[in-house]
Amino acid sequence: MTTEVLWWIFAVGVVGTAAGVVLSRTVVHSAIFLILSLAGVGAMYLFLTVEFIALVQFLIYGGAVTVLILLALMLTRMGVAGRPEPVTGAQAPFGALVALALMATLVAVAVATAWPGDLGGSPEAVSIEQIGEALFEHYGAPFIIMAVLLLVAFIGAIAIARQEDGD
Amino acid sequence: MAEHAWMLAAVPAFAFVALTATGRHLPRQGDFVAVLTAAAVFALFFAVLASFLGLGDAAWPVLNSIEWTAIGSFELRMGIAVDQITIVMLAVITTVAFMVNVFSVGYMKGEPRYWWYFAVLQLFVASMLMLVLADNLLLLYIAWEVVGLSSFLLIGHYWERRSAVEAAKKAFVTTRVGDVGLLIGIILLWDATGTFNILDIFHAVEAGAVGETRLFVTMMFILLGAMGKSAQVPFHVWLPDAMEGPTPVSALIHAATMVVAGVYLVARLLPLFESAGGALMVITIVGLVTALFSGAVAFAQTDIKKVLAYSTVSQLGFMFVALGAGLVSAGMFHLFTHAFFKALLFLGAGSVIIGTHHHQEMGQLGGLWRKMPVTAATFLIGSLALAGLFPLAGFWSKDEILHAVDAHRGALVFLLISVASIMTAFYTMRLFVRTFLGKPQDEAIASHTRETGAIMTLPLVFLAILSVIAGLAVFHEVGDALGFPGGFGEFVYLHHPEVFHVDWGLAGFSTALFVLGAFAAGWLYRGGRLDRATALAEWQPRLYELLRRKFYFDELYQALIDRVVLGFSYVVSWFDRFAVNDTGVDGSAAMTGYAGFLLKHLQTGRVPNYALAIAAGVVALTLITLAVGG
Amino acid sequence: MVPLENYLVLSGILFSLGVYGVLARRNAVLVLMSVELMLNAVSLNFVAFAVYLDPGRATGIVFAVFVIAVAAAEVGLALAIVIRLFRNRSTANVDEAATMRW
């Protein structure tokens, strides 16, 4: 019972902060909402008993990604801080329409479908050993490719953002 | 060794690849490669022969095949089958190919594309050998087409000459008409029996897998292919024109080997023709018409090679008649002997052409025996063998055919084939007399005429010897001594081996035919003079014109092509231009262009617009899937 | 306990919010943030499926790990591009990067 109440609190928190991300008028506020929203999703992982993913979520999103985004915001600062500027484009109403339609569809499908093998809300704990086994035994090759991908993206990011002569 | 007879074809095939790739850069443009290849194949043949004979007739035919592909329950095996008919063909092909390769070194000296000529020659030999070795009709058909291709390439060797190009095209198209028939026949046989393997087809047909009417139709299609390749009336038109190719090619392809592929095919499938109702009678009629027709046309030809070409067509007709009588032995024997003396005659003609610096009109020659004694002597032997003088090769094989016709086909066919024999003797002797005897018609040419070198005369001498002795293979004692199971009739047969006995009555009759024809020619063209012949032609100008124009076959075909084919082409071309091109191709292109012109305004260049379109599309697709797929 | 549907609905809402952000926002960094929301929604969906529908095997969880890793790479690259864009055109506004047209 306590869990459910807690879950609902967090769920509302995640949705609320996510809405803040896409609706807030200042960029910095958006970034702060994003941090909170990502942390809320991390909490969702804890409810799902996968502590490992939760940990990864906090570390990578809460730490690295957010810092990166804040840094980018500083480097591409628009106007003077505090001065409200139009952050929403002209096609926002259409975007809202499409997003609402999508949301309706997704929610309808999620509720209406009888999911095969559904345990009815009693998740078994997935141990970190299981995840490690799956990651290194069955998905060894993708894991290595992933490492290469990260390296390539790393080098690529440097190459693109580098200050060149004449810039 | 006999089961590895495929090596016979593999060696020249390899030589073809090697010569094509490097021939141009080799010393002497690689002609020694060609000659060595031909010699190797010739030697290899004897290894195959010895092994084949060593295995004994219980092991015949020698088979060797590999699985080529398997699709479901259908299995395709490709391989070789060596039996007596194959051995005879191998003997002919390897021997003549060797001689022709040697002769070509002299004949083609200084000609353009020397290396390419030898390369294609090897391709021809490889495919021809594959054709006779094939144990299934599919492989045979492939080889059949490659043979046609090399023939096309060699006829058109001097493609700077328009007539050569035309001749090559004509040969290719004409034989292709027959080849389509062959392909249809093969498919029909496969459809009825489920196999391409020749022996399996025999067994299936014996077991009654194919109805008689259907088998008759099928075999008629296959006969079309054989007639096309062997230049039987009405497909004969390509062979005389094929003389545009280099003369050694005429000797090898258009006298000794490729043109007998049709005869070989009929001989190989003779059991099927036998089972197919009146198919044998059709073969006899085709052969008879061809033998008489082209024998007559040969009377009025003035080009040495054209005379020989029509003579070849006529002799192929003889072979068809023999096969039509149901006798593989007689047909194959004539094929065997004819290959040697006809190759000899063609190479002799080649020698004349080189010796006189490219003159081959009889009207410009004459009296050559003084200048070219070796060529003249060997040419005389070849002529007499062709005309059927006792005891040269042609006498024995023609005797066999007369014997077979007498026994199986009745008096009328016998009479007509006798007439064809007289014609053979007549035009052969006419050719010899007008070319080599009498006085030179053109002193300018005669003064430059020289005997050709040893590289060309040695093959002539070798083939002349064969032309004398090849006929003796018919005797039981000769075959026995060489390790064969008796004479030719006891080696190559369909149902029962036949021991040869000299029929003196028939031999006398045959000799009489020869004498009649030869003396008619000798009287008409005595001493190489033309007055009597001219008088004869003027006495019956229409008949002479008919013969000279080859019964107007070319004109008839040309008219047919002009009216029917071109008329149809106009309709097709109109449809192509307006319906396919203007409406279909250009129309759809214009529509695409116009649509693009209109739709390009949707491209705003703003990425968010694109993202909106994608997202809306996803939603739409999801809804459609839900609505339709449930 | 919390049923599976709750997670799916939450994930769907989160994803739709992200889509709206991508479509409506003008600032490239904000667009990127919205993309992160979408990616998080997907990961959450994966993990929920893995835990509820396929217990004992960790396939969906491994997918989430990969999604997070790719997202990290993508953020790094995308921000580099944004910085580049800003440096060349003095704007991070996606509406003004409109050269992809006829």
Chain C residues with CB under 8 Å of B620 CB are none
Q: What is the pLDDT at residue B36?
A: 94
Report chain A's C-alpha Rg in angstroms: 20
| Average pLDDT value for residue range B563-578 | 88
* Single-letter residue type at B282: V
| Three-state SS annotation for chain C | CCCHHHHHHHHHHHHHHHHHHHHHECEHHHHHHHHHHHHHHHHHHHHHHHHHHCCCCCHHHHHHHHHHHHHHHHHHHHHHHHHHHHHHHCCCEHHHCCCCCC
Q: Give me B478's structure tokens.
A: 């000769």
Residue of chain B nearest A102, judged by CA positions: B619
Q: What is the pLDDT at residue B463?
A: 93
Under the banding of pLDDT at 50, 70 and 90, the label for residue A122 is low
Question: Quick check: A105 and B612 CB within 8 A?
Answer: no
Chain B residues with CB under 8 Å of A105 CB are 619, 622-623, 626
pLDDT for residue B449 is more than 80:
yes
Residue of chain A nearest B624, judged by CA positions: A105
- B307-345 pLDDT, tens digit per residue, is 999 999 999 999 999 999 888 899 999 999 999 999 999
Residue with tokens 């002529």: B383
Q: How many interchain CB pairs under 8 A, B with C?
A: 28
Q: H or E stretch including B36?
A: helix B31-55
C85: left (phi over 0), alpha (psi -120 to 50) or beta: alpha
pLDDT for residue B605 is more than 60:
yes
Among A112-126, B287-301, B512-526, the range scoring the smallest mean pLDDT is A112-126
Distance CA B300, CA B427 (A): 9
- Number of other residues whose CB lies within 10 A of the CB of residue B233: 20
Q: Give me B147's structure tokens.
A: 């043979």
| Three-state SS annotation for B331-345 | HHHHHHHHHHHHHHH
| Average pLDDT value for residue range A42-52 | 88
Under the banding of pLDDT at 50, 70 and 90, the label for residue C100 is low
Portion of chain B with pLDDT greater than 70, in percent: 100
Q: Helix or strand or coil: residue B605?
A: coil
Chain B residues with CB under 8 Å of A91 CB are 608-609, 612
The residue of C16, C17, C19 whose CB has the most chain B CBs within 10 angstroms, and thus the best one to mutate to test that interface, is: C19
- Asked if B623 reaches chain A (Cβ–Cβ under 8 Å), the answer is yes
Measured in residues, chain B has a length of: 630
- Number of other residues whose CB lies within 10 A of the CB of residue C74: 17
Kindly report the nearest CA distance between residue C19 and chain B, in angstroms: 8
Chain A residues with CB under 8 Å of B622 CB are 105, 109
CA B181 from chain centre, in angstroms, equals 16
Residue with tokens 């039996």: B83
Distance CA B536, CA A43 (A): 119
Torsion of CA B581, B587, B592, B595, to 10 degrees: 170
Kindly report the nearest CA distance between residue C15 and chain B, in angstroms: 12
- B351-389 pLDDT, tens digit per residue, is 999 988 888 888 888 888 888 899 999 999 999 999 988
Q: What is the pLDDT at residue A85?
A: 57
**Cβ atoms B493, B368 nearer than 8 A:** no
Which of B144, B139, B126, B142 is closest to B41 using CA atoms? B126
Chain A residues with CB under 8 Å of B619 CB are 98, 101-102, 105
The residue of A22, A87, A98, A103 whose CB has the most chain B CBs within 10 angstroms, and thus the best one to mutate to test that interface, is: A98
- B13-23 pLDDT, tens digit per residue, is 999 999 999 88
Q: What is the pLDDT at residue A82?
A: 46
Q: H or E stretch including B82?
A: strand B74-82
Q: How far is CA B84 from CA B97, B329, B500, C25, in A?
A: 20, 10, 17, 89
Chains interfacing with C (3 or more CB pairs < 8 Å): A, B
- B134-190 pLDDT, tens digit per residue, is 999 999 999 999 999 999 999 999 999 999 999 999 999 999 999 999 999 999 999
Q: What is the pLDDT at residue A80?
A: 46
Chain C residues with CB under 8 Å of A2 CB are none
Question: Quick check: C100 and B605 CB within 8 A?
Answer: yes
**Cβ atoms A93, C101 nearer than 8 A:** no
Distance CA C44, CA C13 (A): 12
Which of B87, B29, B14 is closest to B57 using CA atoms? B87
Which of B199, B424, B420, B470 is closest to B289 using CA atoms? B420
DSSP H helices in chain A? 2-23, 27-47, 51-56, 66-75, 92-112, 128-133, 140-161
Q: Helix or strand or coil: residue A91?
A: coil
Chain A residues with CB under 8 Å of B618 CB are 102
Q: How far is CA B474 from CA B91, B336, B489, in A?
A: 15, 11, 7
| Three-state SS annotation for B273-305 | HHHCCCHHHHHHHHHHHHHHHHHHHHHCCCEHH
Is this prediction's pTM over 0.90? no
Q: What is the pLDDT at residue B307?
A: 92
Q: Taking all residues of chain B, what is their mean pLDDT, rounded to a whole number?
A: 89
Which of B219, B222, B224 is closest to B235 using CA atoms? B224
Report chain B's C-alpha Rg in angstroms: 29
What lies within 8 Å, CB to CB, of B496 at 6+ separation is none
* Candidate from A89, A98, A109 with C-beta closest to B615: A98
| Average pLDDT value for residue range B268-291 | 91
Q: What is the pLDDT at residue B268?
A: 93
* Single-letter residue type at C8: L
Kindly report the nearest CA distance between residue A101 and chain B, in angstroms: 7
Distance CA B443, CA B121 (A): 36
Distance CA B171, CA B294 (A): 17
Under the banding of pLDDT at 50, 70 and 90, the label for residue A120 is low
* Single-letter residue type at A61: Y
Distance CA A91, CA B613 (A): 11
Which of B203, B236, B457 is closest to B344 using CA atoms? B457
Tell me the DSSP string of B204-234: HHHTT-S-HHHHHHHHHHHHHHHHHHTT-TT
* Candidate from C22, C99, C101 with C-beta closest to B611: C22
Torsion of CA C58, C63, C69, C70, to 10 degrees: 170
Eight-state DSSP code of residue B23: G
- B539-569 pLDDT, tens digit per residue, is 888 888 888 788 888 888 888 888 888 888 8
Chain B residues with CB under 8 Å of A95 CB are 608, 612, 615
Phi, psi of B544 (to 5 degrees): -60, -45
The residue of C45, C51, C66 whose CB has the most chain A CBs within 10 angstroms, and thus the best one to mutate to test that interface, is: C51
- A10-43 pLDDT, tens digit per residue, is 999 999 999 999 988 888 888 889 999 999 999 9
Question: Quick check: A160 and C92 CB within 8 A?
Answer: no
Half-sphere exposure of B176 (CA within 13 A, CB side): 9
- As to burial, measured by CB atoms within 10 angstroms (0-12 exposed, 13-18 middle, 19+ buried), residue B309 is buried
Distance CA B288, CA B340 (A): 22
Q: What is the pLDDT at residue B343?
A: 94
Q: Give me B158's structure tokens.
A: 């001097």
Question: Quick check: C64 and A11 CB within 8 A?
Answer: no
ipTM of the complex: 0.87
| Average pLDDT value for residue range B118-143 | 94
Of chain B, the end-to-end C-alpha distance in Å amounts to: 70
Of the two residues B427 and A85, the one the predictor is more confident about is: B427
Question: Quick check: C94 and B600 CB within 8 A?
Answer: no
Q: Taking all residues of chain A, what is their mean pLDDT, rounded to a whole number?
A: 83
**Cβ atoms B112, B158 nearer than 8 A:** yes
Q: Helix or strand or coil: residue B81?
A: strand
Q: What is the pLDDT at residue A123?
A: 62
Of the two residues B458 and C102, the one the predictor is more confident about is: B458
Question: Quick check: B612 and A94 CB within 8 A?
Answer: yes
Question: Quick check: B607 and C100 CB within 8 A?
Answer: yes
- B20-77 pLDDT, tens digit per residue, is 998 888 888 888 999 999 999 999 999 999 999 988 878 888 888 888 888 777 788 8
- A66-100 pLDDT, tens digit per residue, is 888 888 877 776 554 444 456 677 788 888 999 99
Distance CA B446, CA C77 (A): 92
